[in-house]
Structure 1
Amino acid sequence: MLRLHRPRIALFWQFYAKYFVLFLIPVIVAITFTYFFVVRLIEDDARQRNDIIMTNNSEHIDTAFTALQTTMIHMLSDVNLKSFLPVAGDSLDNQQRNEWLHSLMSQLGKIENGDLVLNAYLYMTRYDLVIDTETHSDKAYYFRFKHPVGDADRAKLFPNLSGKQMMYFTKPYSLGVSPLTPDKSTPPRTVISTIMSYPFNSADPDVYLVLDMNMDVLQERIGGREDWVIGSAIIDGAGQAVVQTGSMEAGSGAANKKTLSSIQSAFNDSWRYVSVIDLQKLLQPARMIRLLSLVFLGFFLVLGSVVSYYLSRKLYAPILEIKTGLATHHEPGRAVRREGNDFDVIKRFSGMLISENNQLSRLVSGMVPMVQEHFVTKLLLGDFRDSGTLEASAKEIDFAYDPKAIRTVLCVEFQYYSRVQEGQSETSRTFLLAELKDRIRKLFPDQTIWLSHTKSDILACVLHHNPGPGVGPKEAAGQIKLELERFSPYYKATIGVGSTVASIEELYISYEQASAMLRFKGVQPEVEICFEEPLRHDRKAWDSYLPMMEVNRIINQCRSRDYDSLLQAVFELLEAGKHVRAFEMKALCSDVLNTWIRAAEHDHADYSIAFYTKLFHMLDGCVTVEELRQAFRDIHALLFRKEEPHVGKGQFDEVLAYIHGHYAEELSIERFAQQMNMSVGHFSRTFKEEVGEKYVEYIAKVRMGKAKQYLLETDLKIDEIAEKVGYWGRNSFIPIFRKYEGITPAKYRNLYSATS
């Protein structure tokens, strides 16, 4: 700096540097503090406030849609609809058909009670019939006079009334003025229809339930009332707006004052709630503080420049004299050190640069293995299939390789046990992986081996086959297996052996085959090696789907409260399939869990989708048969909570035990009252207080429980079942059964046997 043509400039920068260190750095720290802890606080608060508002709006809409979906499912699952479908084409003289028809109209009216649904109707696919809350008619009359849909809008509704539909939302379309209301009392309106078919899983359903949604209510619910929200919309997976309000033009570029805010819908994973936000309004306080901070910083920069320029002019003459003296005392080849002068500063600064350069060199040297491992990862994933590109990329990172060497890829998959997943941090797993890599490298000291962490749970080992004596793929897999057994307390390991390739460009083929071999791992805790050849001869036939007979047996056991047998049956199933492939076992276990859920919903309708998702996650995280057993124990305890009967303590224990053992006999209240030395009235009141139910009600419920068990598990006639549960005949049994179950015994048997 002293050799410049204008040394005063160098002196100016020295003063300015001291001013910067002593004064400006505290100012910059203060401004930075203001920016990061005040401005960012304002910005984050504004964005959080907008996100909270969007989240509340989305939760309300998701809740409304979920409730609507539940209502539609209940409507389509109703006994009246199931009973009506077989006689929908009968004449109007069928009295039973008319009763079911009016019941359906009444149920549709209940759906329209909310402000979100304008109209609800049932569209029969096999009959020329449409049913809504007020009328039922043929399709041509309904969509022309009662629910007029114009020719231009028919394509938005009717193509969707085919195939399987599970709450499908149509595009907005217009409903015209009905010719039956010439006074225009019902103006034209735009609606969105949601459609659900029944039977639910049928590609050729019998009926569609169509709900017309109120566009004004939907737009009001998704639109924010804040002045910084310009527009809001629900966007589906195809990027189309399901519902929109306001302007959705966000623009692009740094100068644009609008931005998008998006939240995923909990109701439909492919939906997102999107808002266009005016950043100028939202972040106006933050912008003002930022501007003041910049002005304040600029003022001190200018002030420092003025002061430094004045001091440099005043002190330049003494500095020039010092510079001349240093030049005369300089000896070539010998370092000159003068405490406090510029040469000493420059010397120390140069030494610092050299030190930093050495540190940077060591850092780069330490990063070379990581870069080379990343290169191997890209090679295994097939990113380098051209020899020219591969050679150029390898040369950049100093990666040496033989293009024509023979190589084989071994894939090691780690499946951490559930107890390890919960109790071990990511850092601990990283250390375990590093230790494993080091041990594998030491296994092959005379043979080149590349290691690459291609996925979070897969370590790829590229084995080079030397021309001389060396270790082959099978032998290498066996040695790695012995090392992996050291880590068996932490995870289950599987080794997939790929094909041997003669070119480095084909290495991805060996990796893909090795990865594919991992699919055939089992559910035993020991380390497995998966080769192609043994798998061809060792693939046992295993039905990974639960037979319908087994499904019916599980459902009947649930209805008869035989919960312990359910768990025992699963344990037997796991024991029988403990030597099959893990994916087959997981598929079968998923079928069992799905059947358990179906059976449990009969008694517990309060479980949520999130609860069921948690159960499947518990099952999916299992690695071994023992973990599957424990998972089913936990799931069994959650799904089939045993309800303790409300029995009285003390004096009524013997009475209740006698009732449960002799429910088929005549159980008169006088007998028990006399036995306990009570009057009939006193016995009845005391029984109600301690047991929680009237004496007659308790006996009836015990008998009805046994009757339902006979109906579902035997082929006995109604008269025979009546006698077995303590009634004289069907005439006295059927009214009691209908009172407690809502339907006759015959309908109960037909309904739940068909469901099973």
Structure 2
Amino acid sequence: MSKFLFRLLSFSILLGAVPVVFIGVISYFIASGDIEEKVKQGNEQILLQTQMRVEQVMRTLELSAVQYASSPLATKAITQSLTPDDYQQVRDLSQGLYSMQTFGSISEAYLISLDNDWSINFRSFQPFNALSNRDTLTGYAKLPNSLNWITPGVADESADPEQQPKRVIRMVLKIPFVQAERPQGLLVTELPEGEIKQLLAENSDFGEMMVLDEKGNDFLSDKPDDPERSLVAREIFEASQQNKRRAGSFETTLAGGNALVTYRVSDYNNWVYASVVSISEITKQSRNIAWITFVACLVLLLAVAGLGFYGSRRIYSPVRRLFEFTREIEPDPAGAGEGRSSGSRDEFVWIEERLRQLSSKGQQLQQQLRGQYSHLKEYFVLKLFSGQLSESDYAFRSSMYGLPTEWKRLAVLTLQIDTLQGTRYGEHDRELLLFAINNMVGELIPAERRFTPVVHNHSQVTLVVSETEDPAALKQELHELAGSIKTKVYEYLQLKVSVGISRPFERIGDAMKAYHESLEALKGRISLGNDLIIHAEDIEGGQELKAAIYAQLKFLEDQLVQVVKQGDREKADALFGEYIAAIVERDVHFNEYPVLMLQLVAKMYQLVHEQGSTVQKALGEGATVEAFMKLTTLDAIVRWFKQELFDPLFAFLARQSESQYVDIANQMVKIIHERYQEDLSLEMCASLLNFHPVYLSRVFKKETGVNFVDYLVEYRMTIAKQLLETTNDKVSEIAERLRYTNTSAFIRTFRRIVGMTPGQYREQFQQK
């Protein structure tokens, strides 16, 4: 075997084997050492998710129950003696109960008037005393809290044991739901135990899930008499009560083996959520990892050895061919190979000796490179435009490349394609078209009047030589030259192009500056249009915008953002027209156009980000900043805003707003219930929720059926009735507490809603 092949094979196998073995050992120890911690962390995440799902169901049910119980219909009916003859009122109350089913999968609900002895459930209206579970429901009135969750394991001491709920979880809401020893009525809903179990079953593959109520009862267990499970439940409950720890983990014994227990205590109702995972299952995974790692490393070692051998042979193959080739080119110098086989010597030593003999022929290669002058000249001109070539370097190399050495004036002509829309070409043809135009320029302008034309940064650039010194005559000469180029391009390619012409200059070192002047001249197309020949001296330098201009544009941008949020496309188009007119009518330099409009683009992007999406995903490829920055005319910019930005943005926001209506309305209702004693207004809600007041008003009316002010007034009157019933506060004090500065206005509003004055209501309530 050749020395080089042997060294190559040994090195490749060693290079592949050492990392495989090292990574395999390290990965096993890391994986086996962290797996228990990962399981623990995974259980904590699963417990949190399970708790959030369960509490979401319970909170939704609680919210719907509180809304129903606090409605004027329910609070008024509780104080009345209803009979089956009150069909309309009973029907309205029943519909309210049925509507609660849309907020949770409840199996039964009761609206009970304790004082007037009637009850309504999903099936009937009947006297409360006629219910079979009357004693149990009556016992709920003695519970300490206004709202209570009754699990199957929580027994009411005052109720009949045979009537205790078995397989349902009840929510009991006192009416009115302020603290009282004896409420006027109850709202009781029953949530099937299977609803909670179904939420737990989604994570059954990650250990056994348990839920304990505030007294430590494992009320969801299918085996309530299992002593081991009961013991574990007691340990979990005791651990959660020690030092009032809200979360933690510990090891225990279950089914004859060790188990890892992870628990969380809910701040909502003090239920304990726990996960139990067998330690043996965890270590079993570690053993599996060890075998898998061993087999994987063994397979990788074999694969590395095979690939090393195959790759070494393939890598050695060209070396061997080169070695044989050099032997054929030159004989073995001074008999260096005599007495030794070709396989026992280092091939690179042989090749080095042959290359040393060939290095003397380098001059022949230089002569061959002279045939590549065209590419070298293009590269030379590109270095001129990029400022990488000094005047002394040019003087040294110009004769070598056959470039002009004498002139009176120089100028740079930069040509750009205005647009490919409406032509038979696509964006993928742009580079090819520029090279075609570059060839046409090389043929149109004689070689003695130009340097080599080049394509640079999506532009065709030509450095022109002139013997004319008169500025006016030179400008006319350059204009005619640019015009002839434009005419030929349109004649052969049917493309409209614009040409930017720099100021004339004398020193070759100013070529880069002139090139940038021609580019700046082309930027004038944003305000001047397309198909132009623009001289740099005709474009005035931009001036800074006055503060009033910025303020006006910012005001229009903010208005446009609000209109887009409201989904009013017609008004948005009108405001955008004002926005464009404000820029065009002012003395704004064309260089300021992209900067000003990028501020509006960024605000539109922010609307997408606020909805949790990305610009590319929500609006498409055409709405990116890269696409915007490629636009060169005002018409193209306006078309881009309307077609590529506004059209998909309005469609996206319309889809998002439908899914947000319900959540926004619920948040507004919650704000009313929590902050009714403050100077609450639609504008305050808009500030808290970060939405426009008009938008919030429309969403609230759509979801609740009433406007914001009416709902707020009705809820305050509900609170006023409760205060009149339960306190001895003066009417003026109640009015002030409910943010009425004028007591007379409060009395008028109360009489309009309730049908009587506050004093009459209190007197009527006390007579009952």
State whether TM-score is above 0.5.
no
TM-score relative to the length of structure 1: 0.37
- Bigger-Rg structure (1/2): 2
